[in-house]
Amino acid sequence: MSIDLIVSGEPRAVESGTTAGQVLGDDRSVLVARVNGELRDLDHRVAPGDVIEPVRAEDPEGLAVLRHSTAHVLAQAVQDLFPEAKLGIGPPVKDGFYYDFQVAEPFHPEDLTRIEKRMLEILKSGQRFHRRVVTEGEAHKELATEPFKIELIGKKGGNSDEIMETGGSELTVYDNIDRKGAVCWSDLCRGPHVPSTKYIPSNAVKLMRTAAVYWLSDENNEQLQRIYGTAWPHKDGLKAYLHFLEEAARRDHRKLGTELDLFSFPEEIGSGLAVFHPKGGIVRTVMEDYSRQRHLAAGYEFVNTPHVTKAALFEKSGHLDWYAEGMYPPMDMDHAQYYLKPMNCPMHNLIYSARGRSYRELPLRLFEFGTVYRYEKSGVVQGLTRARGFTQDDAHIYCTREQMPAELDSLLTFVLDLLKDYGLTDFYLELSTRDPEKSIGTEQEWDEATQILFEAAKAQDLELVMDEGGAAFYGPKISVQAKDAIGRTWQMSTIQVDFQLPQRFDLEYQGPDGTRERPIMIHRALFGSIERFFAVLLEHYAGAFPAWLAPVTVVGIPVADQHIGHLQGVVDLLRSQGVRAEVDTSADRMPKKIRNAQKQKVPFMLIAGDDDIAKEAVSFRYRNGEQRNGIPIADAVAEIVAAVAEKRQV
């Protein structure tokens, strides 16, 4: 009997009992089939009217299947070598997969080598993945020695991306069957899987690292040991991924910070607290100064506030209710408790309420580079991106309800414009909404604020991603996510609408008709934190800052000592135009000076010898090694001054 199907958009008739794999033909690049929109194993038997398409490892969903199947191979290898290991979950994730195990001893780095070796044996042995439907009773019996799997059966659960064991319409077990037809391993899993381990390229699989994790991500549960691995359709994919990791390591701001003498984290000061050295300090100053200039032009006013305050202020703001564990513990002084500030907003509110405000003053935009201290847990502190003390480019805008949409719209434009000047160009927006468990205020206020933010985000013509329940306790937020030079995304600016703090601080302004009205607050930080933004730029540029940001923009390199005077004259000219330039007068020979400047990633090297002096000229060497000899001094200065003024990368 034949049945009718649609295969890759074309009608086709096949014998009943045919599998999806047979329908799609003898094509080893096909891993699974999409049948009526659902992913199925290739040995799935097709039914009349099915719409069938091939799914390959190049498709995101196919790649996930490949990685999920590799996770099964990992689990089999681990149980081969560690028979007592109990299985947790093992889903595909970005760039790879993991599998969680309960073992008596955490895995050691050497264990990974052994496990990987065993995995390769399994891959080469060509085991088939075979799906088998089981009843709940059968599953309980079969998985009696796997307590975590049993727990999952009880939970059933939805179609989660993380828990792949259950969630289908029926309970299924996948058996791994060797060439002799014997079942050598089984796992509760909703699938689908590649047809056999031969479909997983053994030269494109690698175990990466181990980690302790909490069962079902709950820190009250027991800890399991997770093994992370990566798998790709081809060897080249693995190579490219490993290269990406190397590139990221090369750009690591902690490494560059030391190499370029920008900042450090003295142990004596404490974890997560950075000091900026002169080279880093000048970069930071230039970053801040440009920001100040732009803020002035955009109608902001500058304020300054202290770093510590009595507890009452944070009681009033709600921080001590909602955020106490993120704050440094209090200091007792003069019968009062003082706290280091984790946020600037309460202080700015006090400036607002220092005197009566008129509607004519709104929007009032108070800006500060405000240093805050947050007690980050010891395990999360990480370089400049996650510090315990950092400086926010923080502003609070006080406006009327009517002004809010226009204010948010111009604010978003301002943010994106400014970030572009620092060299970031690829953005998307994220809208974080209320977490009912962790928030104050009425539903109506939240809805209104969220809606207005949504409208403002929409107006930007950028991708908008929703982050449900990700907001701070006092209001919804838009964050600007920027992609860096190697495609990583970083959260940059945050913009939050807040109806709550104005109430808590009883902020008011006098309206045109003489009534007292409550303003709305917009919290916003564009860099997020200066330290973090500094780190992002450092990694984005791999240390090679554009001319305007580079700690030293120009180094003059004399061919011999007698050429120093000539270069000093050129450097003086540059300095008089605000360019950070210096002459290398060290005892090193000229090629060594070039090497040093190159390693310091200096944008312009100006070299001068007898030839240049004779022509009243200098010779350029650029970061990419190119050179232009005998450039008249005035032209050279003009070129450099222009590169700085235009914020150009060179």
Partner RNA sequence: GCCGCCUUAGCUCAGUCGGUCAGAGCGACGCACUCGUAAUGCGUAGGUCCCGAGUUCGAUUCUCGGAGGCGGCUCCA
Catalytic residues, which ones? 345, 374, 392, 394, 396, 477, 523
With respect to RNA, which residue has the nearer C-beta, 135 or 258?
Answer: 258
With respect to RNA, which residue has the nearer C-beta, 49 or 270?
Answer: 270
C-alpha distances in angstroms, 302 versus 296, 359, 372, 433? 8, 20, 17, 30
Q: Does 380 bind RNA (CB under 7 A)?
A: yes
Q: How far apart are CA 57 and CA 177, in angstroms?
A: 22
Binding-residue pattern over the window 9 to 38 for RNA, x denoting contact by CB under 7 A: ------------------------------
- Identity of the amino acid at 549: L
Range 504-507 contact pairs with CB under 8 angstroms and sequence separation of 24 or more: 504/316, 504/317, 504/318, 505/316, 505/317, 505/346, 505/349, 505/350, 505/352, 505/353, 506/353, 507/349, 507/352, 507/353, 507/357, 507/398
Q: Does 383 bind RNA (CB under 7 A)?
A: yes
> Looking at 61-69, 141-149, 170-178, 206-214, which segment touches RNA (CB under 7 A)?
206-214
With respect to RNA, which residue has the nearer C-beta, 238 or 602?
Answer: 602
447, 455, 463, 588: residue in contact with RNA (rule CB under 7 A)? 588
Q: Does 474 bind RNA (CB under 7 A)?
A: yes
Residue 120: burial class (beta carbons within 10 Å; 0-12, 13-18, 19+): middle
Strand segments, DSSP code E, in 238-376 are 263-264, 275-276, 301-302, 308-310, 331-333, 336-340, 364-373
Q: How far apart are CA 315 and CA 311, in angstroms?
A: 6
The DSSP 8-state label assigned to residue 249 in this structure reads H
Q: Within 91-110, which residues bind RNA (CB under 7 A)?
A: 106, 108-109
With respect to RNA, which residue has the nearer C-beta, 217 or 444?
Answer: 217
Q: Does 625 bind RNA (CB under 7 A)?
A: yes
Contacts with RNA: how many residues (CB under 7 A)?
A: 74
134, 619, 643, 650: residue in contact with RNA (rule CB under 7 A)? 619
> Looking at 7-15, 168-176, 181-189, 623-631, which segment touches RNA (CB under 7 A)?
623-631
Q: Does 225 bind RNA (CB under 7 A)?
A: yes
Q: Does 381 bind RNA (CB under 7 A)?
A: yes
Q: Within 50-89, which residues bind RNA (CB under 7 A)?
A: none
Kindly state the smallest distance separating residue 112's Cβ from RNA, in Å.
10
CB distance 592 to 607 below 8 Å: no
What does the block give as tokens for 381?
A: 């502190």
With respect to RNA, which residue has the nearer C-beta, 252 or 517?
Answer: 252
Angle, helices 235-251/530-540, rounded to nearest 10 degrees? 130
415, 472, 492, 570: residue in contact with RNA (rule CB under 7 A)? 472
342, 405, 441, 569: residue in contact with RNA (rule CB under 7 A)? 342
Q: Does 230 bind RNA (CB under 7 A)?
A: no
256, 559, 571, 581: residue in contact with RNA (rule CB under 7 A)? 559
Q: Within 491-520, which residues bind RNA (CB under 7 A)?
A: 496
With respect to RNA, which residue has the nearer C-beta, 111 or 187?
Answer: 111
Q: Within 293-332, which residues bind RNA (CB under 7 A)?
A: 319, 323, 326-327
3-state helix/strand/coil string of 489-502: EEEEEEEEEECHHH
Kindly state the smallest distance separating residue 583's Cβ from RNA, in Å.
14
Q: Does 441 bind RNA (CB under 7 A)?
A: no
CB count within 10 Å of CB 303 equals: 17
Reference 92, options 239, 229, 217, 234; nearest CA is 229
**Residue carrying the six token digits 């199907």:** 5
CA-CA-CA-CA torsion sign (130, 134, 136, 142): negative
C-alpha distances in angstroms, 504 versus 313, 346, 500, 509, 519? 10, 10, 6, 15, 12
161, 289, 611, 635: residue in contact with RNA (rule CB under 7 A)? 611
With respect to RNA, which residue has the nearer C-beta, 189 or 343?
Answer: 343
